[in-house]
Amino acid sequence: MRTIYRSEPPWPHRVLILGGGFAGVETARHLEKLTKRRDDIEIWLVSRENFTLFTPLLPEVCSGMLEARHSVTALRAQLKRPSSWAVTAVVERIDLDAKQVTVTGGDGDPHRLNYDTLVIALGGETATFGIKGIPEYTAGMKTLADAFALRNRMIEMLERAELEDDPEERRAQLTFVVGGGGFSGVETAGEIEDFVRRVRKRYYAKIDPEEPRGHIVELGPRLLAEMPEGMGEYAAEKLARRGYTIHTDTAIKEVRVDGVVVGDDNEFIPSKTVIWTGGVRPSPVVRESGIEVDKGGRAVVSGSMETSHPGVWAIGDCALVPKLDQEGAYHAPTAQNAVREAKRLAKNILASIDGRKRDIEPFEYRTIGTLASIGHHTGVGVVFGVRVRGWLAWFMWRGYYWSRVPGIGGKARVGLEWFLNAIFGSDPVQLKVDYPGTAGMGPSGTRRSRPRSTDPRA
């Protein structure tokens, strides 16, 4: 095990940020801005991937509306100061007493990173709540790999269905089930239908337009519970018209290789493609670190986002950031909040390093609105308290997220791609990258032929 140093003594104060999502990257970027003229502070950002994933656009990657590479931005491209460092590694353990974080790099070896100030921004990962079959038979909608897997699966099902004689088997191949009717579930359902409809019409003439079907299974009483009443009903009505059966107040009991068991009467829905968006839990590293966490494993923080351990801060989806004006309420785990929290956190960290206690302030923010795309150039949302739906909501949704894509280059790529897709449409290319013949490097270039030994004494 190696301890990594980059600078020479006297060591600058190192702010180590764990997680390269919205929360982590924005904290790093704001800290860089605030410490532009200082060389006594350095920023290290550690994340599993070397990019930030723009999650609101992930369902569009799945439907081919957006090229995968354009939904991500390299971490190194977002850090500007020469002393800042983006480390691609998996965070394994946090040692609060030694002020050290153990990570595993792409080389497969553990490394120790020392810190003076720690920011935990590890986000969330898909939670299965122990439902049988979810890990084995469902795709998620949280990572780039999820979007790839689902896109390839949809195309695979269309390809197989064209060859299939057995009507039962064909029905299962052309039935898509989404578990979870929140934001990501509804947006994913919308994109699935949009994609299947478009490519079927153009490339799979042997499949009848009525054959592809969908189901959304939601435990709560309505879709889009995050939005005011009426919005979920609107989304449900639109999706039902496009071939979805909406099951509210319904639990997924089990997922099998050939379908899903749902509800109290154990209804079986034959399906070869089940997508699970029904739950997120924080990275287990947060709970295991020793800071105070709630029942669900999210870091309990003060209004200023400091954890129970001084000098250790937590934000984004992995933290419970209290609302100032509502006792016992917390800011929702959204990208919008994560970005705003990061701005305040950067100021608080700097004030804490400089010993300016009076300048450490709680996070305060009122959401400007929420918007969701439900496919077919349709959306729903609330902006500044005004409800919007239909094409206008979709247009506002696109416009807002386009404006949040990092960099002019990023915006140009996304804008151009949307424009070209609107003219030429999507194609059904199935990117099969998991075949042998990648010279032992694996589809993502990470596979090593032989693990290196690690020093057990370190």
CB of 103 to ligand FAD, least distance (A): 7
Three-class DSSP category at 40: coil
Stretch that binds ligand FAD, among 228-236, 332-340, 404-412, 426-434 (CB under 6 A): 332-340
Q: Is 138 in the site for ligand FAD (CB under 6 A)?
A: no
Q: Is 78 in the site for ligand FAD (CB under 6 A)?
A: no
Report the alpha-carbon distance of residue 336 to residue 370 in Å, rounded: 9
Cβ proximity to ligand FAD, 232 vs 316, nearer residue: 316
Q: Do the Cβ atoms of 297 and 120 come closer than 8 Å? A: no
- Which residue of 141, 269, 346, 405 would you call a contact of ligand FAD, by CB under 6 A? 141
Report the alpha-carbon distance of residue 446 to residue 104 in Å, rounded: 13
Using CB under 6 A as the binding rule, the residues of this chain from 110 to 129 that contact ligand FAD are: 121-124
Task: Mark residues 17-46: x for contact with ligand FAD by CB under 6 A, - for none.
Answer: --xxxxxx----------------------
- Which residue of 189, 255, 261, 335 would you call a contact of ligand FAD, by CB under 6 A? 335
Residue 97 C-alpha from the chain's centroid: 31
- Which residue of 192, 338, 353, 382 would you call a contact of ligand FAD, by CB under 6 A? 338
Q: Is 287 in the site for ligand FAD (CB under 6 A)?
A: no
Using CB under 6 A as the binding rule, the residues of this chain from 377 to 416 that contact ligand FAD are: none
Q: Is 173 in the site for ligand FAD (CB under 6 A)?
A: no
Cβ proximity to ligand FAD, 120 vs 157, nearer residue: 120
CA atoms within 13 A on the CB side of 384: 1
Cβ proximity to ligand FAD, 71 vs 173, nearer residue: 71
Cβ proximity to ligand FAD, 86 vs 261, nearer residue: 86
Report the alpha-carbon distance of residue 148 to residue 241 in Å, rounded: 27
CB of 55 to ligand FAD, least distance (A): 3
- Which residue of 77, 90, 320, 396 would you call a contact of ligand FAD, by CB under 6 A? 90
Cβ proximity to ligand FAD, 12 vs 185, nearer residue: 185
The secondary structure element, H or E, covering residue 194 is: helix 183-203
Q: Is 180 in the site for ligand FAD (CB under 6 A)?
A: no
What are the phi and psi torsion angles at 293 (to 5°)? -130, 160
- Which residue of 55, 175, 307, 352 would you call a contact of ligand FAD, by CB under 6 A? 55
CB of 372 to ligand FAD, least distance (A): 7
Rg (CA), the chain: 23
Cβ proximity to ligand FAD, 58 vs 154, nearer residue: 58
- Which residue of 4, 13, 38, 49 would you call a contact of ligand FAD, by CB under 6 A? 49
Stretch that binds ligand FAD, among 13-21, 255-263, 292-300, 347-355 (CB under 6 A): 13-21
Q: Is 58 in the site for ligand FAD (CB under 6 A)?
A: yes
Q: Is 282 in the site for ligand FAD (CB under 6 A)?
A: no
Report the alpha-carbon distance of residue 53 to residue 51 in Å, rounded: 6
CB of 445 to ligand FAD, least distance (A): 17
CB of 143 to ligand FAD, least distance (A): 8
Cβ proximity to ligand FAD, 250 vs 370, nearer residue: 370
Q: Do the Cβ atoms of 183 and 285 come closer than 8 Å? A: no
- Which residue of 182, 232, 243, 333 would you call a contact of ligand FAD, by CB under 6 A? 333
| Tokens linked to 195 | 């994609």
Q: Do the Cβ atoms of 345 and 27 come closer than 8 Å? A: yes
Report the alpha-carbon distance of residue 15 to residue 101 in Å, rounded: 12
- Amino acid residing at 322: P
Closest CA to 337 of 308, 315, 353, 354: 315
| Tokens linked to 52 | 């930030």
| Tokens linked to 31 | 């800290």
Which residues neighbour 315 within 8 Å (Cβ) at sequence distance 6 or greater? 23, 27, 119, 120, 121, 301, 305, 321, 338, 341, 342, 345
Q: Do the Cβ atoms of 378 and 393 come closer than 8 Å? A: yes
Closest CA to 105 of 185, 25, 33, 48: 48
CA atoms within 13 A on the CB side of 70: 22
Cβ proximity to ligand FAD, 336 vs 378, nearer residue: 336
Cβ proximity to ligand FAD, 283 vs 378, nearer residue: 283
Residues paired with residue 256 on neighbouring β-strands, in sequence order: 259
Under the phi-then-psi rule, with left for phi > 0, alpha for psi from -120 to 50, and beta for the rest, what region is 117?
beta
Cβ proximity to ligand FAD, 158 vs 345, nearer residue: 345
What residue number has its CB nearest to ligand FAD? 21
CB of 378 to ligand FAD, least distance (A): 15
Q: How many angstroms separate the Cα of 436 from the Cα of each of 273, 412, 441?
A: 25, 36, 10
Size of interface with ligand FAD, in residues (CB under 6 A): 32
The secondary structure element, H or E, covering residue 261 is: strand 259-262
Binding site for ligand FAD (CB under 6 A): 19-24, 47-49, 55-56, 58-59, 90-91, 121-124, 141-142, 183-184, 283, 285, 316-317, 333-336, 338
